[in-house]
Amino acid sequence: DGGITQSPKYLFRKEGQNVTLSCEQNLNHDAMYWYRQDPGQGLRLIYYSQIVNDFQKGDIAEGYSVSREKKESFPLTVTSAQKNPTAFYLCASSLEGPDTGELFFGEGSRLTVL
């Protein structure tokens, strides 16, 4: 079955450590997105990529980095520069842009900084 796989589901990090969240899709989608969700707030865009080897910053990119070396993979690194990284992170994909059809989401990764 086609879909998006995020890992890990839960992650604990000490302050000052970088962590990388994995996002893999086998839907042959060009566009992939990373969102952050905090309690009581809507999803906020961190980074998005519409094609391999290209990505753009979203609204809250500071303290995060991404790569898109392969079509199916879009990992997110939460760096030590991110001031408040404890949050729920969601990866999503669409065939092309967000108005071209259905969005597919991973199950999310919950990051807690100790």
Partner 1 sequence: KNEVEQSPQNLTAQEGEFITINCSYSVGISALHWLQQHPGGGIVSLFMLSSGKKKHGRLIATINIQEKHSSLHITASHPRDSAVYICAAVLSGNTPLVFGKGTRLSVIA
CB of 65 vs partner 1, minimal distance in Å: 18
Q: Which residues bind partner 1 (CB under 8 A)?
A: 33, 37, 40-45, 48, 50, 58, 88, 90, 92, 96-99, 101-108, 110
Q: Which is nearer to partner 1, 6 or 82 (CB)?
A: 6
Q: Which is nearer to partner 1, 41 or 84 (CB)?
A: 41
φ/ψ of residue 92, rounded to 5: -140, 165
Burial of residue 70 (number of CB atoms within 10 Å: 0-12, 13-18, 19+): exposed
**For residues 92, 97, 98 and 100, what is the CA-based torsion angle, rounded to 10 degrees?**
-120
CB of 21 vs partner 1, minimal distance in Å: 14
